[in-house]
C-alpha cells in the first residue's frame, strides 16, 4: 500500500503529467481589506468590484472584524483575514493596518479609495515576469501540485482561497454605515495555509469545503509572511 501511494506521488510530480490544465497567464492578484463598519470602505468596494471584471486581474475581498466594535458585526469577517492583513502590514513596515487597503501582487499597498493608483499598480504588476513554477490541480480536485522554481528568500507559502464570485449587497443597519447598502464582489469565505514551499516539487492536499458549491477555488503561492505573490492558480470554469 505504501509503495502504491509513493508511486502515485512520484507520477503526479514528474512533469505534472496527471493534472488538469490551468489557464495560460497568471492574473494580477488584487486583495482588498475592507469592513462593513468602515465609513470609507464603500467606495473601495465599488472600485474593486469593477476591477474584478478585468480578465487579467483576480480581485479578492477580505472582510476584517476589527471595526465590529462600532456597532455592526461584519457578515463576512473572519479573524484569519485580519491576520493576513497584519502580515502584510509587517512586511510593508506599516505602523497599523489601514482600512480600506489594497495589496497588489504582494508587492505594493495603497489606500483602497485611490482607484487610479490601484489601477496604475495593477498595470505595473502585469509587466513583471513572475517566474512562477507549474501549478496544477490533480485530477479529482482534492490536491494541488506545485512544481520546482526559485524560492524567495525566507521560503514560500501555499494558500488555499475559496471565494464567492457573486455580487452581494449588504444593508448595514448599525454603526458608521447605518442605512447604507454596500456592494461586495469576490468575497473570500475560506483562507487556509496549505504549507511551505522551498522551491522543490510538492503535493498539497486540499481540505473539504465547509461552504456552498458556488465558491471558486484559488491557490496562491507567495513569499512567507506576506511576501510577493509568485503564482496564482484558478480552477477551470465549470
pLDDT, the chain, mean: 89
Query: What was the pLDDT predicted at 212?
Result: 67
Q: What percent of the chain has pLDDT over 90?
A: 80
How long, in residues, is the chain?
238
What's the total number of domains in the chain? 1
User: Backbone phi, then psi, for 189, in 5-degree steps?
Assistant: -110, -25
Distance of CA 113 to the CA centre of its chain: 20
How do residues 188-225 score in pLDDT, each as one tens digit?
999 999 999 999 999 999 998 876 678 999 999 999 99
Close Cβ partners of 108 (under 8 Å, ≥ 6 residues apart): 121, 124, 125
The domain that holds 68 is classified in CATH as 3.40.30.10
User: What is the extent of the structural domain holding 82?
Assistant: 2-234
CA angle 198/231/168 to nearest 5° reads: 130
CA distance linking residue 172 with residue 182, whole number of Å: 7
Q: Which residues contact 93 (CB under 8 A, 6 or more apart)?
A: none
pTM comes to 0.89
- How far apart are the two ends of the chain, measured CA to CA in Å? 34
Amino acid at each position: 500500500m505504501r509503495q502504491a501511494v509513493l508511486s502515485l506521488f512520484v507520477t503526479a510530480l514528474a512533469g505534472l503529467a496527471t493534472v488538469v490544465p490551468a489557464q495560460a497567464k497568471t492574473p494580477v492578484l488584487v486583495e482588498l481589506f475592507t469592513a462593513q463598519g468602515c465609513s470609507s470602505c464603500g467606495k473601495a468596494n465599488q472600485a474593486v468590484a469593477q476591477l474584478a471584471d478585468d480578465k487579467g486581474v483576480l480581485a479578492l475581498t477580505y472582510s476584517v472584524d476589527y471595526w465590529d466594535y462600532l456597532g455592526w458585526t461584519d457578515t463576512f469577517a473572519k479573524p484569519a483575514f485580519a491576520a493576513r492583513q497584519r502580515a502584510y502590514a509587517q512586511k510593508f513596515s506599516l505602523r497599523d493596518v489601514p482600512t480600506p487597503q489594497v495589496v497588489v501582487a504582494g508587492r505594493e499597498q495603497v489606500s483602497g479609495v485611490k482607484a487610479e493608483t490601484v489601477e496604475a499598480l495593477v498595470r505595473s504588476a502585469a509587466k513583471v515576469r513572475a517566474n512562477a513554477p507549474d501549478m496544477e490541480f490533480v485530477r479529482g480536485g482534492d490536491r494541488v501540485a506545485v512544481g520546482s522554481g526559485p524560492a524567495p528568500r525566507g521560503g514560500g507559502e501555499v494558500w488555499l482561497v475559496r471565494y464567492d464570485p457573486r455580487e452581494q449587497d449588504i444593508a448595514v443597519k448599525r454603526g458608521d454605515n447605518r442605512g447604507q447598502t454596500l456592494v461586495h464582489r469576490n468575497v473570500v469565505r475560506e483562507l487556509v495555509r496549505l504549507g511551505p514551499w522551498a522551491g522543490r516539487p510538492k503535493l498539497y492536499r486540499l481540505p473539504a469545503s465547509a461552504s456552498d458549491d458556488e465558491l471558486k477555488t484559488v491557490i496562491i503561492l507567495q513569499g512567507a509572511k506576506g511576501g510577493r505573490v509568485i503564482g496564482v492558480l484558478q480552477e477551470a470554469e465549470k
